[in-house]
Structure 1
């Protein structure tokens, strides 16, 4: 689990806005297309959905999974995979021990908090369609590439 915590410490933004959501979402869709992944991508700033794209082969079920993962990230402030793994590391499951309704909450990989340094979580970036660890890894890879490239075309904040 230290690796999952390190990801959240490392993958933080100086700022995050609508343009960043567009560029990050487009990058995620591009990675998924290159690899032939049928996924849905969703990016939110607070309660506002800024980016949503469903590749061929997805369904409304993927939208439902995203909503359930987002609720976990908002409630716990950590990636949906980290939350689920924290229960697995204790020899139990999120579904057994959280006392949260499984139809509304899913601690499965694929939703990551958008964290702004000095502010904290301000939104979410989510993927649904692959096995949960692969969903998580795709989001983490895209965030790393996006941040390493300086973010959107506007460049880093001054």
Structure 2
């Protein structure tokens, strides 16, 4: 699974990302979750600046804590929180056993994906919390795919 996760990070990159993009991506994620009946919290940051945060019914402050812990993993390792956790599982261990980081501050569970600028690297994060970790990850990836596909279509038509 790790090569697939690495491929996602190579493919889901932005040429630019700003406040309006955070709003569009965040609202897309909220709409997707709402349509599917998912109680999730969505968070988007550019560096340390929180540009979007929304909690759907069924969430709690615990989801905010999970978001913070997942973001710390992405910032520290530069990869999605799911990829980081999976890389440890692929080696027959766990992040919690081998990373030597405080579990109350770091969670290598799926749902946080780096916002990567092509030619620059990670500049922010998009995070979902509220579903099983693979589902959190898949929801973020699907939203990024749809968002970037729409952006390419706009660029192609000159809109």
TM-score for the superposition, normalised by structure 2? 0.95
3-state SS of paired residue (1:63): helix
Instruction: Tell me if 1:144 matches 2:142.
Output: no
Partner secondary structure for residue 136 of structure 1: helix
Which residue number corresponds to residue 127 of structure 1?
A: 128
Identify the residue that residue 36 of structure 2 maps to in structure 1: 35
Quick one: distance in 1 between partners of 2:123 and 2:20? 15
Q: Residues of 1 paired with 2:39 and 2:55: CA distance?
A: 8
Deviation at 1:100, TM superposition (A): 0.1
Query: Could you list the runs of 5+ residues in structure 1 that have no partner in the other structure?
Result: none
Report matched runs for 1:52-91 at 5 Å.
52-91=53-92
- The two structures, once aligned, show a CA RMSD in angstroms of 1.1
User: CA offset at residue 35 of structure 1?
Assistant: 0.1
Q: Deviations over 1:122-147 (max 9, x none)?
A: 00000000000000000000000000
- Summarize deviations over 1:50-81 as a string: whole Å, max 9, x none: 00000000000000000000000000000000
Report what 1:50 is aligned to: 51
Query: More helix per residue: 1 or 2?
Result: 2
Structure 2: state its 5+ residue gaps.
none
CA–CA distance in structure 2, aligned partners of residues 150 and 52 of structure 1: 22
Whole-angstrom CA distance in 1 between matches of 2:151 and 2:141: 16
Using the alignment, how far apart are the partners of 2:39 and 2:77 within structure 1?
A: 28
> Across the two proteins, how many residue pairs are aligned to each other?
154
3-state DSSP of counterpart to 1:124: strand
Residue in 1 aligned with 2:95? 94
TM-score by structure 1 length?
Answer: 0.96
